[in-house]
Chain A
Amino acid sequence: MRQTMPVRLGAAEDTLIAQLKSVGADATAERITVAGLPTRRVESYHYTDLKTLLRSIPPLAQAANEASAPALRVPGAYQLMIANGVIQSASTAPAGVIVGKAAGGVLTTRDDVLVHLNGAFARESLTLTLENSVDPVIQIDRRSEGEAAHVADSLKVFVADGASAVILETFSGSDAAHVGNHATYMVLGKNAVVTHITIDLSPRSASHFASNEYHVGEGAKLRTLVIHAGAGLARTQLFPRYEGAGAHGDITGLNLVVDGQHADITMDASHAVPHTSSQPLFKSVARGRGKAVVQGKLVVARDAQKTDAKFMHQGLMLSDEAEILSKPELEIYADDVVCGHGSTCGKLDEDSMFYLTSRGIPKDQAETMLVRGFIEELVDPIEDEALAEALHGIVDGWLLGK
């Protein structure tokens, strides 16, 4: 008779199990009791061993009674806030935007611990229905405030046929060892055009987890930009699903890590029907002993002929001790597709440094220019000028060591 050895549970897992039981999520509690947090032996967590990296979990968040300064303001943006999982009342929405609330989380169940935990802990979801094209940038300001807290929150966005919008999510809060678990579920109707930017600006003491699920309809165009520039431990999971002919995704992301930071972008994309395309492009810049991970999986369904998808990850190492890791995966069940992957990793180009410094530009400034240039390909497609400027500000802030 085969006996499964129970895994040894750590403090973080014990707390999670107790918290799950306190909200009645017994099934999820049971999963963690049996399997523990994922280790490097779990394929999708190979480079982000949560059992090792996540040592403790703070108490479940209470409603916040104070707020830190906003991490990012974009002039002209329409703002909504979720603080410690609670949706705050908002100013009047722009025309065509319906703001609402729903009970519970939003993500489709899948075999992933972060998804399960969000489903268990998110009490309410902010819902946005965009009935037609929305001009101002819509910013969801997601906060973890007060004493260290385990925060789960959730957002659902429905973009109507033919509508277009730019949606910005920022994650920030008080300087405490928060653990944030955030979910976004987005549906793009026929020919909808959406830019979705998520920026982690949490304090270094925090751990930031986000899972973004996208359903991209016929002829719809999705552009994403994930930026990790805050938490000591960050992982954003991207689950785009291309569900109608002509659906396209420019899935992009950027890890900015310094000594002691660990940032992970993991994409699991599904091309479900014929004639869809995607261009996932990720970049990582690492300093000190910073560690950046990008995993990209492209799953092409059996009848998803004419899928055109290419995953790319480019790394820039600013120190010898930095680590930049790439894991592309192709799972292709159709035969008439163009799919590929590539990754590059290198240091700053010496000839480029010499060229810039030979013009009198000091070394550190030349380095900053080259890194900014390396990243520009991701910011350049953002058309809203105020937003692009805010993004440049974040990159520059990181480069100048803020």
Chain B
Amino acid sequence: MTTPILEIRNLHARIEEREILKGVNLTIPAGQVHAVMGRNGSGKSTLSYVLAGKEDYEVTEGEILLNGENILEMEPAERAVAGIFLAFQYPIEIPGVATMTFLKAAMNAQRKARGEGELSTPDFMRAVKEAGAQLNIDADMLKRPLNVGFSGGEKKRAEILQMALLKPTLCVLDETDSGLDIDALQVVSKGVNALRADNRSMLVITHYQRLLNHIVPDVVHVFSDGRIVESGDKDLALQLEAKGYADFDGAAA
């Protein structure tokens, strides 16, 4: 059997003495897209942050294996180099740092860490231009400071642009549909779908079924109170939408 890209075993995590993740088990084989759906506050963003290595969270139990390798001891930058990419629910605004400058720094940092040479400026420009065209991102937007004053749609498109350029093996998308109108949702989904590949897996976190009409998952998981309570195929998302979460997690709506 080939090693799955992501394997989470009995993951427990807490923040400020409060346990948020209470035994998450999840395996994503190479090439698959898994959706995680759950109420607000159920711990979905926490899961994404713990995967990416945010310091605020303390993992008290369990393991996260990326391509069979435990990543819990790695810093966020090392995890990125190992192939994890988190598309943030709320991308952070970085004043004074041009988006273009940031993209180049990120690409070259990852190349350097892998022992590859720096990208030449023409190669970099070409890559950005190509990836940007698919996402309706023009040169003007790239000159602006990273995420500063970007509309909700621009922020999400910029996240997908980064994902396209950094070519991760595991894409974690946290509520990528939030704050998007239907047109923007289509552009973003198209960008994500273009990145589906046999050697890449995706974890798509969402609150609404809507996104999953555009990014069709192989498996849907229902997340409740810090763990996965039900898994099924894409129809599970439709059932959830029809019946609400209460039928699945037993809590009052």
Residue of B nearest to A354 (CB): B54
B65 located at the interface, meaning its Cβ lies under 8 Å from any Cβ of chain A in the complex: no
B105 located at the interface, meaning its Cβ lies under 8 Å from any Cβ of chain A in the complex: yes
A286 located at the interface, meaning its Cβ lies under 8 Å from any Cβ of chain B in the complex: no
* CB neighbors of B among A350-368 (8 A): 350-352, 354-363, 365-366
B86 located at the interface, meaning its Cβ lies under 8 Å from any Cβ of chain A in the complex: yes
A373 located at the interface, meaning its Cβ lies under 8 Å from any Cβ of chain B in the complex: yes
- Bound state CA distance, A352 and B102, in angstroms? 12
Residue of B nearest to A378 (CB): B96
- Bound state CA distance, A354 and B91, in angstroms? 11
Q: Is the CB of B94 within 8 A of A352?
A: yes
Q: Is the CB of A369 within 8 A of B97?
A: yes
Q: Chain A contact residues: over half helix, strand or loop, or mixed? A: helix
Q: Mark B68-90, 1 if CB is under 8 A from A, else 0.
A: 00000001110111000110100
Q: Is the CB of A358 within 8 A of B53?
A: yes
Q: Is the CB of B145 within 8 A of A365?
A: no
Given A354-B54, A357-B76, A363-B77, verify A374-B113 contact (CB < 8 Å): no
B110 located at the interface, meaning its Cβ lies under 8 Å from any Cβ of chain A in the complex: yes
Shortest C-beta distance, A316 to chain B (Å), equals: 12
A332 located at the interface, meaning its Cβ lies under 8 Å from any Cβ of chain B in the complex: no
Residue of B nearest to A380 (CB): B96
Given A357-B77, A360-B109, A360-B113, verify A372-B96 contact (CB < 8 Å): yes
* CB neighbors of A among B88-125 (8 A): 88, 91-92, 94-97, 101-102, 105-106, 109-110, 113
Chain A residues, Cβ within 8 Å of B76: 354, 357-358
Chain A residues, Cβ within 8 Å of B81: 360
A384 located at the interface, meaning its Cβ lies under 8 Å from any Cβ of chain B in the complex: no
Q: Is the CB of A360 within 8 A of B92?
A: no
Name the residue among A366, A370, A374 with the largest chain B CB count within 10 angstroms. Answer: A366
Q: Mark A334-358, 1 if CB is under 8 A from B, else 0.
A: 0000000000000000111011111
Chain B residues, Cβ within 8 Å of A359: 77, 80, 85, 102, 106, 109-110, 162, 166
Chain A residues, Cβ within 8 Å of B56: 350
Q: Is the CB of A363 within 8 A of B55?
A: no
Residue of A nearest to B83 (CB): A360
B192 located at the interface, meaning its Cβ lies under 8 Å from any Cβ of chain A in the complex: no
Residue of B nearest to A351 (CB): B92
Residue of B nearest to A349 (CB): B92
Chain A residues, Cβ within 8 Å of B96: 372-377, 380
Q: Is the CB of A370 within 8 A of B94?
A: yes
Chain A residues, Cβ within 8 Å of B106: 356, 359-361
Contact check: which of A355, A374, A380 meets B92 at CB < 8 Å? A355
Contact check: which of A351, A358, A361, A373 meets B52 at CB < 8 Å? A358
Shortest C-beta distance, A394 to chain B (Å), equals: 16
* CB neighbors of A among B16-39 (8 A): none
* Number of A-B pairs, beta carbon distance below 8 Å: 82
Q: Is the CB of B80 within 8 A of A358?
A: yes
Shortest C-beta distance, A315 to chain B (Å), equals: 16
Chain A residues, Cβ within 8 Å of B92: 351-352, 354-355
Chain A residues, Cβ within 8 Å of B113: 360, 362
Contact check: which of B52, B77, B95, B166 meets A376 at CB < 8 Å? B95
- Bound state CA distance, A360 and B53, in angstroms? 12
Contact check: which of B55, B86, B109 meets A362 at CB < 8 Å? B109
Chain A residues, Cβ within 8 Å of B145: 373
Given A356-B94, A372-B96, verify A365-B105 contact (CB < 8 Å): yes
Given A350-B55, A355-B88, A369-B102, verify A362-B95 contact (CB < 8 Å): no
Residue of B nearest to A377 (CB): B96
Q: Mark A365-400, 1 if CB is under 8 A from B, else 0.
A: 110011011111100100000000000000000000
Q: Is the CB of B95 within 8 A of A363?
A: no
Chain A residues, Cβ within 8 Å of B102: 356, 359, 369
Given A360-B81, A362-B109, verify A355-B94 contact (CB < 8 Å): yes
Residue of A nearest to B101 (CB): A369
- Bound state CA distance, A355 and B53, in angstroms? 11
Chain B residues, Cβ within 8 Å of A351: 92
Shortest C-beta distance, A175 to chain B (Å), equals: 32
Chain A: residues with CB nearer than 8 A to chain B? 350-352, 354-363, 365-366, 369-370, 372-377, 380
A-B contacts besides A354-B76, A360-B166, A376-B95, 18 pairs, CB < 8 Å? A351-B92, A358-B54, A358-B80, A359-B80, A359-B106, A359-B110, A360-B77, A360-B80, A360-B106, A361-B77, A363-B75, A363-B77, A365-B105, A369-B94, A369-B97, A374-B95, A375-B96, A377-B95
Could you name 30 residue pairs across A and B whose Cβ atoms are closer than 8 Å?
A: A350-B56, A351-B92, A352-B92, A355-B88, A355-B94, A356-B94, A357-B76, A357-B77, A357-B80, A358-B77, A358-B80, A359-B102, A359-B109, A360-B106, A360-B109, A360-B110, A361-B106, A362-B77, A362-B109, A362-B113, A363-B75, A365-B105, A365-B109, A366-B77, A369-B105, A370-B97, A373-B94, A373-B95, A374-B96, A377-B95
4 nearest CB pairs, A to B: A373-B96, A376-B96, A360-B80, A359-B106
